[in-house]
Homo-oligomer: A and B are copies of this chain.
Amino acid sequence: MSRIGFIGLGIMGTPMAAHLVAAGHDVTGFDLNADARAKLTEAGGTAATDVAGAAQAAEVVITMLPNHPQVEDVVLGTVLDVVAEGTLLIDMSTIRPETSLAVAEAAKAKGVRVLDAPVSGGEAGAKQATLSIMVGGDEADFTAARPIFDALGKTVVHVGPHGAGQVVKAANQLMVGGIYALVAEAIVLLEASGVDAKAGLDVLAGGLAANRILDLKRETMIAREFQPGFRIDLHHKDMGIALAAARQVDVALPVTGLIAQLIASARAQGYGSLDHSALLKVIENFAGRA
């Protein structure tokens, strides 16, 4: 069992830290929010009073933060200064690959090992410990971290060197955003043509167009029920990461570029707090079907 410092006890971090406690780890956590810290102590962990307090005695530090500026602040600003050489830092935040590479470089200079390990599966996946975890970094560090990942997720894959986890997450998000847009256009076309959308999507779900979004969301989308789930605002952040990841390696992605604008439109039109399936609202406004 390991002494784990866990920084970032939000919607995702809170249940993840609890799973680690339940798995027998000694977890000291920190979050700016006092309620979040209280939940950790209720779950059997220890609350630190600041980032340094959570990190300094840890063998493994896990960060689960909103975006790259927070990772830069916490990791570059504090964690790397207080941990011992040889500590393993697992950044499970979804951020742009560029920052993961910068963190890896800064960590290496201090003799700290690091993995980027973003997840998909959302709040439900965090609660049920069924997350998909995409891991970038050295094989040996991945192997060492395996018991921790296994306490948190179901699909755990080492996909390549530092930053690779973030790239795979970015690829996941561009595909998910794109498939939502396609399902939305299919629904709009069917409805505008006087076709029974449910019957139509049932056929599609049985053929080459079959996909998990169609399976899970077609009924709520047709009913225009958009409670999150995963919010548009978060997907908007993630499309920014996908575009930054492409820019970083000098590739151009035409469909991703358009999907990013569609999701930005969802946010701009005021749907930021709805589920990402609310991309349908953008498509139907655009199609004059609002």
Give bound CA distance, A270 to B46, whole Å. Answer: 54
Give A167 Cβ to nearest chain B Cβ, in Å.
Answer: 4
Which B residues lie within 8 Å of A186 (CB)? 171, 174-175
- CB-based contact A240/B246 at 8 Å: no
List A residues 190-227 near B (Cβ within 8 Å).
190, 192-196, 199-200, 202-204, 206-213, 216
| Separation of A97 and B267 alpha carbons in the complex (Å) | 20
List chain B residues, Cβ under 8 A from A155: 203, 206-207
| 0/1 string, A258-286, CB within 8 A of B gives 1 | 11111011011110000000000011011
Q: Say if the beta carbon of A250 comes within 8 Å of chain B.
A: yes
Whether A168 sits at the interface, judged by CB under 8 Å, is yes
CB proximity of A250 to chain B, nearest CB, Å:
5
B179 in contact with A209 (CB, 8 Å): yes
**A residues 228-278 in Cβ contact with B at 8 Å:** 240, 242-243, 245-262, 264-265, 267-270
Q: Is A5 on the interface with B (CB-CB < 8 A)?
A: no
A240: nearest chain-B partner, CB-CB: B247
Do B207 and A158 have beta carbons less than 8 Å apart? no
Quick check: is A161 within 8 A (CB to CB) of the other chain? yes
Bound-state CA distance A151–B279 (Å) is: 39
Q: Indicate whether A251 sits within 8 Å of B189 (C-beta atoms), given known contacts A157-B202, A261-B257.
A: yes
Determine how close the nearest CB of chain B comes to the CB of A224; give it in whole angstroms. Answer: 17
Most chain B CB atoms below 10 A, which of A192, A202, A203? A203
A120 at the interface (CB under 8 A from B): yes
Which B residue sits closest to A215, measured CB to CB? B210
CA distance A193 to B242 in the complex (A): 12
Query: A175: nearest residue on chain B (CB-CB)?
Result: B209
In the bound complex, do residue A252 and residue B246 qualify as a contact, i.e. CB atoms below 8 Å apart? no
Q: Known contacts A164-B194, A175-B204, A200-B159; is A252 also within 8 Å of B257 by CB?
A: no
CB distance from A126 to the nearest CB of B (A): 14
Q: How far is the CA of A288 from the CA of B265 in the complex (A)?
A: 7
Shortest beta-carbon contacts, A-B, top 8: A268-B288, A211-B211, A252-B264, A252-B265, A175-B209, A257-B261, A251-B287, A171-B186
Other than A121-B207, A174-B182, give 16 A-B pairs with Cβ distance below 8 A.
A136-B195, A159-B195, A159-B196, A159-B200, A160-B195, A175-B183, A179-B179, A189-B245, A208-B213, A243-B243, A252-B261, A257-B260, A261-B286, A265-B286, A265-B288, A268-B287
